[in-house]
C-alpha cells in the first residue's frame, strides 16, 4: 500500500490532512509526525512515497529536512510537497524548490489542490522508479559494451505506460534528442516533425525562459542538483505558448562526464493559469477589479524608485466617499456596490494609464500619480476627481449623488517612506472632510489629527475590544415636549491612540471589512446595557445592520442580554433601514412579532428615500419613524418637501408611531417642526 507521511507541529492540521487523504485517497496509508526529528526517523524507517512537510517546525525548518532527504541516496526519490501558512512570496517558493521540494502549497488550500498534488507526486514516483531502472541499465550497457547504448522497446513501453506525461531522451554525446509521440501530439506536431536536436528544442522554448532553462541544465550536469527540473513555455504548432514542467536524470560515464539525460515532461498550463488567477485575486479587489493595498504599496515603491532616478515627483492621493453609508442604508448594498463600480470607472478616466487607482476597502480609494512635475499637477487631478465624482449617478432607476474628499501627499517633498506618504495623504483627506467635504487638501505638517485609515483584521479588532479601546457614545435627541420620554442615540468610537479616534460610521465599515461586525454589535449592546443600569430613565436607540438583523440567533441573543442585565425591553429601540426590513419580509414580520412581545421598540430609519411600500405598514409593527435628512436640508415652509413632511407626520401619528426629524440645522426649521407636531428633533451636528 502506498504511504504518505505528514510532518506538521499543529495537531489540528495533522488531523485535517489525515481526514482528507483517507477520504479522497483511501488506498494510501497515512503516517504522522509532529516535529522534524521524528519525521526524519519515520522517513528512513517507513520510506514513504510522498511527504507533506510544514516549513516551520519546533526543532528545525522544512527546508533543512528537504535538503537532507534529497541529498541522501536512500530518500532522494521521495516526493516532497511543502505546505506552509507563511505569506507566500516568489522567494519563499523558490527557496523551497531550491531545497529540493517537488511542489509547494499555501495554507489555506483547497482539498482538490492537495489531492491533485499527491496524485501527481505518485505518478512522478512511479516514473522515477522506471527512470532509475533505465539509468542503471544504461550504465551497465556503457560499462559492458564500450559505451554503446541499447534501447529496449520493452523498456520504453514500460516507461510510457507508467505515466501520462511525455518522455524525452537527450543523447549529449551525439547531440540528439528523442521525444515520445505523446509529447509531440500535445504540442500539435506530427511524429518526427520536431528537429531531433537540442538546438531544435531550444527554438521552441520561449525566449524569456531559455536562460533559466540553460542555467538549470548546467546546475544538474555540474552535480549541484540531484535531478534536473525546470518550468518553461513552449511554442505549439499553432503559435500559442503552453507551460510545461521538465524533470530529468543525467547518466555519467566512468570518467564522470554526462552522456545522457532521460526525463519526463508534464503539461502544467492549466495549473499556471490557475496560479496566475490566484495571484491576481490576492492583489486585486474583487468588486472593482482595482489593485488592493498590497499591490498599491508595491507599485508605489517602484514609482518612488523610478522618480528618485529621474528626479521627478509622485502624488499620493487618499480618497474617501462622503456619506456612502447613507446610500447603503437607503438603497441597499447592491446599489452601493454598483455605485462603487461607477465611481471606479470615473476615477480611471480622471488619471493617465501610467497612474494607479486602488481600492483600500469600503469607500476608500488610493491613487498614485507617477512622474508629475509639481504639486500643481496633483491639484489639477484632484479637482477633476472632485468635480466628476459629484455628478449624478443613475442606479436601479434612481438618481443618486455623492461627493468625495481627497488628501494629497508628495514624494519626495513630504516623505521617502511608502506608509508615511499614505498616512500623510490620509491626514490631509481627514482635514478635507472636516473642512466641509467635497474638496481636496494638500498635506501640511501643521495639520492637526492623525490618520483615520486602519488595515483592520479580526485579531486587531478583537484586541481593541479586549483592551477596552472602543467606547460608548450617547447623543440626546431633543423631545418637543418636556413630558415625553427621553430619547438617546447610542454609538461607539475607537480611541486607537491618544489622538486618533474612529467614529461609529467608520467602525461599522472597518468591522464589516474584517468580518467582525458581530463583535462590534456585541460591544455596543453590552455597553448600552451597562449604561442603562446606571441611568434609570430614557429609551436608547441602537442601529442594526442587515448582517446582524438576519443572523438566526439575533433575537434570542438580544432578549437574553436584557434578561441577564435585568432590563426592560421597553427601554431599547432598534434602528433599521428600509432595505434591511425588505430583504426578507416574512422573516422581518416574524422577528418583529418576537421583539414586540419582548416590548423592544422598533424604529424605521431614513424613511422616505427607499423602497418600502405603504402596504407594509399594515402588518409591520413600528414604534418610531425617522425622516431622512433630505426633507429638512433645504427647508422651505411652502415647498413640496414641507408638504411631504406634514403628510408623513399625520400618517405616522395615525399609525401610532412617533416621529424623529433628523438633519435640522437652523432654528426656523426646528420651530416649524414644533408647530406641526413633530415628536423629536435631531440636529445636523448629532
How far apart, in whole angstroms, are the C-alpha atoms of residue 353 and residue 351? Answer: 7
Tell me, what DSSP letter sits at residue 247? E
pLDDT tens, 190-245?
Answer: 877 777 787 778 888 898 888 888 899 888 988 888 889 999 998 988 888 988 88
Grid coordinates of 495: 480611541
Q: Report the C-alpha gap between 142 and 149 in whole angstroms.
A: 6
What's the rounded Cα separation, in Å, for the pair 666 and 634?
10
What pLDDT does 584 receive? 82
Q: How confident is the model at residue 450 (pLDDT cuts 50, 70, 90)?
A: very low
The 10s digit of each residue's pLDDT in 24-60 is: 888 889 999 999 999 999 998 888 889 999 888 888 8
Domains of the chain: 3-109 (3.40.50.2300), 151-274 (3.30.450.20), 284-442 (3.30.70.270), 454-524 (no CATH)
Q: Check residues 572 and 634 and name the one with the higher pLDDT.
A: 572
Looking at the predicted structure, is the pLDDT value of residue 363 above 80? Answer: yes
Residue 205 DSSP class: B
The DSSP bridge pattern shows strands 398-400 and 393-395 to be antiparallel
Contact call for residues 580 and 367 (beta carbons, < 8 A): no
Residue 89 pLDDT > 90, yes or no?
Answer: no
Cβ-based neighbours of 541, under 8 Å, separated by 6 or more:
477, 487, 488, 489, 490, 573, 574, 575, 603, 624
In the predicted structure, residue 161 carries a pLDDT above the cut 70: no
Return the DSSP state at 630: H
Positions annotated as catalytic residues are 363
Q: Which long-range contacts (CB under 8 A, 24 or more apart) does 634-642 make?
A: 635/666, 635/668, 635/669, 635/672, 637/672, 642/672
Is residue 7 a contact partner of residue 53, using CB atoms and an 8 Å limit? yes
pLDDT in tens, 253-281: 888 888 888 888 888 888 777 777 666 66
pLDDT of residue 2: 85
- Region of poorest pLDDT, from 352-356, 391-395, 575-579, 633-637: 633-637
Phi-psi region of 266 (alpha: psi -120 to 50; beta: other; left: phi over 0): beta
Under the banding of pLDDT at 50, 70 and 90, the label for residue 448 is very low
pLDDT (mean) for 567-574: 92
> Which of residues 513 and 172 earns the better pLDDT score?
172
Position 657 scores a pLDDT of 94
Q: How large a percentage of the chain has pLDDT more than 70?
A: 86
Cα–Cα distance, 352 to 365 (Å, whole number) = 16
What value does the mean pLDDT take over residues 345-370? 92
Q: Which residue is listed with cell 419580509?
A: 585
Cα distance between residue 106 and residue 279, in whole Å: 12
In this structure, the strands spanning 624-627 and 658-664 are: parallel
Band of pLDDT at residue 603, cut at 50, 70 and 90:
very high
Is 449 or 308 the better-scoring residue by pLDDT? Answer: 308
Instruction: Residue 82: name the closest of 120, 111, 56 by CA.
Output: 56
560-567 LR contacts (CB < 8 Å, sep 24+): 561/525, 561/526, 561/529, 562/529, 562/598, 562/600, 565/529, 565/530, 565/532, 565/533, 566/533, 567/529, 567/532, 567/533
Q: Residue 164 and residue 268: Cα distance in Å, rounded?
A: 12
The three-class DSSP label of residue 2 is coil
CB 181 within 8 A of CB 168: no
Distance between terminal CA atoms of the chain?
72
Per the model's pLDDT, the better-predicted residue between 600 and 179 turns out to be: 600
pLDDT of residue 613: 76
Q: All 3 cell numbers of residue 222? A: 555540474
Mean pLDDT of 497-512: 60
Given a cut of 70, whether residue 525 has pLDDT beyond it is yes
Q: Residue 498 has what pLDDT? A: 40
What would the mean pLDDT of 524-537 be, rounded to a whole number?
89
What single-letter DSSP state applies at residue 571?
G
Amino acid at each position: 500500500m502506498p504511504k504518505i507521511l505528514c510532518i506538521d507541529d499543529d495537531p489540528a492540521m495533522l488531523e485535517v490532512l489525515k481526514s482528507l487523504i483517507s477520504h479522497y485517497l483511501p488506498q494510501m496509508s497515512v503516517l504522522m509526525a509532529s516535529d522534524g526529528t521524528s519525521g526524519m526517523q519515520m522517513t528512513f524507517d517507513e520510506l514513504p512515497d510522498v511527504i507533506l512537510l510544514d516549513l516551520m517546525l519546533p526543532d528545525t525548518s522544512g527546508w533543512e529536512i528537504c535538503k537532507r532527504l534529497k541529498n541522501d541516496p536512500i530518500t532522494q526519490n521521495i516526493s516532497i510537497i511543502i505546505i506552509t501558512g507563511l505569506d507566500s512570496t516568489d522567494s519563499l517558493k523558490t527557496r523551497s524548490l531550491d531545497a529540493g521540494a517537488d511542489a509547494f502549497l499555501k495554507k489555506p488550500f483547497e482539498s482538490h489542490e492537495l489531492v491533485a498534488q499527491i496524485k501527481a507526486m505518485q505518478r512522478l514516483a512511479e516514473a522515477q522508479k522506471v527512470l532509475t531502472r533505465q539509468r542503471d541499465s544504461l550504465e551497465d550497457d556503457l560499462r559492458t559494451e564500450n559505451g554503446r547504448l541499447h534501447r529496449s522497446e520493452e523498456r520504453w513501453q514500460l516507461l510510457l505506460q507508467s505515466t501520462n506525461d511525455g518522455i524525452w531522451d537527450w543523447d549529449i554525446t551525439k547531440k540528439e534528442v528523442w521525444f515520445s509521440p505523446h509529447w509531440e501530439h500535445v504540442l500539435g506536431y506530427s511524429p518526427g516533425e520536431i528537429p531531433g536536436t537540442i538546438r531544435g528544442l531550444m527554438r521552441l522554448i520561449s525566449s524569456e525562459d531559455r536562460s533559466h532553462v540553460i542555467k538549470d541544465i548546467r546546475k544538474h550536469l555540474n552535480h549541484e542538483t540531484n535531478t534536473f527540473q525546470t518550468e518553461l513555455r513552449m511554442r505549439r504548432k499553432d503559435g500559442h505558448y503552453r507551460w510545461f514542467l521538465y524533470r530529468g536524470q543525467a547518466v555519467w560515464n566512468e570518467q564522470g562526464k554526462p552522456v545522457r539525460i532521460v526525463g519526463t515532461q508534464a503539461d502544467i498550463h492549466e495549473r499556471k493559469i490557475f496560479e496566475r488567477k490566484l495571484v491576481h485575486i490576492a492583489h486585486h479587489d474583487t468588486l472593482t477589479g482595482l489593485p488592493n493595498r498590497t499591490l498599491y504599496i508595491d507599485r508605489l515603491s517602484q514609482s518612488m524608485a523610478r522618480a528618485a532616478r529621474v528626479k521627478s515627483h509622485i502624488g499620493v492621493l487618499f480618497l474617501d466617499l462622503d456619506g456612502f453609508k447613507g446610500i447603503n442604508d437607503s438603497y441597499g448594498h447592491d446599489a452601493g456596490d454598483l455605485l462603487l463600480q461607477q465611481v471606479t470607472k470615473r476615477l480611471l478616466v480622471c488619471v493617465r494609464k501610467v497612474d494607479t487607482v486602488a481600492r483600500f476597502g469600503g469607500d476608500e480609494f488610493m491613487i498614485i500619480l507617477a512622474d508629475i512635475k509639481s504639486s500643481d499637477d496633483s491639484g489639477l487631478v484632484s479637482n477633476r476627481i472632485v468635480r466628476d465624482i459629484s455628478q449624478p449617478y443613475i442606479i436601479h432607476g434612481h438618481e443618486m449623488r455623492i461627493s468625495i474628499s481627497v488628501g494629497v501627499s508628495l514624494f519626495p517633498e513630504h516623505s521617502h517612506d511608502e506608509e508615511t506618504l499614505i498616512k500623510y495623504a490620509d491626514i490631509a483627506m481627514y482635514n478635507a472632510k472636516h473642512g466641509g467635504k467635497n474638496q481636496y487638501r494638500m498635506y501640511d505638517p501643521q495639520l492637526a489629527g492623525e490618520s483615520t485609515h486602519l488595515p483592520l483584521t479580526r485579531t486587531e479588532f478583537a484586541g481593541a475590544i479586549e483592551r477596552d479601546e472602543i467606547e460608548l457614545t450617547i447623543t440626546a435627541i431633543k423631545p418637543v415636549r418636556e413630558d415625553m420620554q427621553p430619547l438617546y442615540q447610542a454609538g461607539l468610537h475607537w480611541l486607537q491612540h491618544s489622538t486618533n479616534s474612529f467614529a461609529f460610521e467608520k467602525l461599522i465599515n472597518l468591522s464589516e471589512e474584517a468580518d467582525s461586525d458581530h463583535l462590534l454589535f456585541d460591544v455596543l449592546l453590552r455597553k448600552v446595557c451597562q449604561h442603562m443600569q446606571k441611568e434609570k430613565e430614557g429609551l436608547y436607540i441602537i442601529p442594526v445592520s442587515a448582517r446582524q438583523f438576519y443572523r438566526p440567533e439575533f433575537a434570542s441573543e438580544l432578549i437574553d442580554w436584557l434578561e441577564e442585565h435585568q432590563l426592560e425591553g421597553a427601554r431599547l429601540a432598534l434602528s433599521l433601514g428600509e432595505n434591511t426590513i425588505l430583504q426578507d419580509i416574512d422573516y422581518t414580520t416574524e422577528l418583529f412579532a418576537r421583539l414586540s412581545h419582548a416590548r423592544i421598540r422598533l424604529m424605521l430609519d431614513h424613511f422616505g428615500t427607499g423602497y418600502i411600500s405603504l402596504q407594509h405598514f399594515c402588518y409591520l409593527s413600528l414604534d418610531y419613524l425617522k425622516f431622512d435628512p433630505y426633507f429638512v436640508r433645504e427647508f422651505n415652509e411652502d415647498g413640496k418637501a414641507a408638504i411631504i413632511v406634514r403628510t408623513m407626520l399625520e400618517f405616522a401619528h395615525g399609525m401610532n408611531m412617533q416621529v424623529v426629524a433628523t438633519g435640522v440645522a437652523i432654528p426656523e426649521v426646528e420651530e416649524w417642526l414644533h408647530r406641526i407636531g413633530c415628536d423629536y428633533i435631531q440636529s445636523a451636528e448629532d
